[in-house]
Chains A and B, each alone.
Chain A
Amino acid sequence: MKRHGFIQDVIKYRAILLMLLPAVLFFLLFAYIPMAGIIIAFKHYDYAGGIFGSAWNGLDNFRFFFESGDAWRITRNTALYNIAFIVVNNVLQIFTAILLFEVGGKWFRKIAQSILFLPYFISWVVVGAIAYNLLSFDIGTVNSLLRNIGMEPIDIYNTPAYWPIILVLVAAWKTLGYGTIMYLAAITSIDTEMYEAAEIDGANIFQRIFKVTIPNLYPTVIILVLLAVGNIFKGDFGMFYNMVGNNGVLFSSTDVIDTFVFRSLITSNDIGMSAAAGVYQSVLGFTTIMLFNYAVRKYDKDRALF
């Protein structure tokens, strides 16, 4: 009887199911089948055997990965960079969005908004070129300026210590416009009656910002941060790779899980360990999002992601 109902439903929704088919096939092929491919991490991969024909080697790939000494470094770098990005980017974006909302004539606002959004539109390759332009030892603008005021030039591309600051600044620079617009949209949708009420109660403009605008942004902040937290163990490959490339000198402060996995796969062709590192990354990410979502759910059910 139940089976009958299922078949009837399939017939009833046949057009919708057919319309869903391309997307379902796409995600089956490019997302779910690779999930099954995780078994590569437990195999000694050889091209002749392929994913299923290769011999098992238990946890050797994982052991090799953790014993290489890279695991801790890349995990720490990935997490710390992402935490810094989340904090710096969101604070800066909220700050900018509030200022754009509160001050300026129409033209000033429009021009500022357009310029702030500009970096979002260029590729990381171009950002890499700009960075080189500014930071190179011989002909970089930063060092030209230092030389002009009689200071020693800095060999930035050979000094790991500078990179955390540089990368955080670059990430803030590239995403500022995008995030600002998101928050600006959220601010614009705040009920104007709340502002009027605050004004009647004698709130000055700063009190209005801190007591009305910012608390009203919390839902947006929570969603954006929750989404970002799920990716806390994912490095932005395009960014790190174009800013630093395969510059081994800087790895201590710039190597993240994604650049490590890419290098082991493409450069050193170490498929087993690369897959193991990828599985490690996925499990860490999945656990983090589950824990955070659970925490948010406990705090406020409506604000959780699922």
Chain B
Amino acid sequence: MSVSDANIGSKAVKSVKSGQLDRQLLAIIGYTSLTVLSVLCILPFILIVSSSFTEESTIVREGYQFFPTAFSVEPYKILFKYPEQMIRAYGVTISVTVIGTAIGLFLTAMTAYCLSRKDFKWRNFFSFFFFFTTLFSGGLVPWYLLIVNYLHMKDTALALIVPLLLNVFYIIVMKSFMSNIPEAIVESAKIDGAGDFLIFMKLILPLSKPALATIGLFLALGYWNDWYNALLFVADDKLMPLQYYLYKMLGNMDGMRKAMMGSGAVVTTSLPTEGLKMAMTVVASGPILLAYPFIQKYFVKGLTIGAVKG
């Protein structure tokens, strides 16, 4: 072994050692930062759950706490004592979510399929027709007046479903997924005599499951969390979706009292308002958070597609 070889050897040992140090340093930074960020992300949830189980007098005296010092299920008891309005709100949200997601997903996929067909002569024209709406818009006022004064959708379920049906971004994501399906599949189906619609239904849809799952979840999340269309278009309590009901409750406890009294039930004046607000928050976001661990992985997979330029 020559001198220079030995030199290189010791250098290598040194760099391996410093490499380990770097790795350890990064690990310390990484574990600490990620733990701190995770704690910051989850603490607010602990706070609302804990507050919803805390006795009202304690909240008023000591403020909201991360751990219930005086445990109470009173807010939930009251919430479930007169559940009519809440059940109705759940019903509205679930139906709107199911119907909206089903129709929206089908239309998104169908539109995306047409735009993904390379032999379609006018695909660039139609792509631009859709894309342009993300660059320029008429603003809230003409849109609002159209829906209320011309389409007469105020206080109808349509106002909650239709505005969220199609979204250009989702069409682009779906199209970029479908563009990767080999054209030969379409060609061979055509030779077998299948029409465009049949090809879409029998071949493209089954092959697009990952994209459908992702966009379906995005749509469902949008419908579940929507309160804006209700704020604009719904005055009738029968059509109040869950998030809007929560919004109204948070802003106005009198409205809540009225809603809870339902059919002439007597609600005492010592309503645990603060605890009740938090219990309602838990109830309104509960299902999505329970479903979350199961749907999260689809989001993660689908976003990989979303990150690719349309």
Give A residues with C-beta under 8 Å from B.
Answer: 9, 13, 15-16, 18-20, 22-24, 26-27, 29-38, 40-41, 47, 50-51, 95-96, 99-100, 102-104, 108, 111-119, 121-126, 128-130, 132-134, 138-141, 143-144, 147, 173, 176-178, 181-183, 185-186, 188-189, 202, 204-206, 219-220, 223, 230, 237-238, 242, 245, 258, 261-262, 265-266, 271, 274-275, 277-279, 281-282, 285-286, 289, 306
Contact = CB atoms under 8 A, between A and B. Distances in A.
15 contacts: A23-B171, A36-B142, A38-B139, A50-B149, A51-B142, A116-B38, A125-B247, A129-B48, A141-B47, A141-B66, A186-B307, A189-B304, A274-B141, A281-B139, A285-B136
Contacts of B281: 126, 129-130
A262 B141 CA distance: 8
B137 A132 contact: no
Residue among B18, B31, B163 with the highest chain A CB neighbour number at 10 A:
B31
A16 B196 contact: yes
Contacts of A223: 309
> Per DSSP, are chain B's interface residues mostly helix, strand or loop, or mixed?
helix
B232 interface: yes
Interface of B: 15, 18-19, 22-23, 26-27, 29-31, 33-35, 37-38, 40-42, 44-45, 47-48, 51, 59-60, 62-66, 107, 110-111, 113-114, 117, 120-122, 126, 129-131, 133-146, 149-151, 162-163, 165-166, 171, 195-197, 200, 221, 224-228, 232, 243-244, 246-247, 250-251, 274, 277-278, 281, 284-285, 288-289, 292-293, 296, 299-300, 303-304, 306-307, 309
Contacts, number: 280
A181 B141 contact: no
A242 to B, nearest CB: 7
Contact of A139 (B31, B59, B136): B59
A114 B296 contact: yes
A140 B149 CA distance: 43
Chain A interface helix/strand/loop/mixed: helix
Contacts of A111: 38
Given A37-B143, A128-B250, A129-B250, A115 B41 contact: yes
A185 B306 CA distance: 9
A176 B40 CA distance: 11
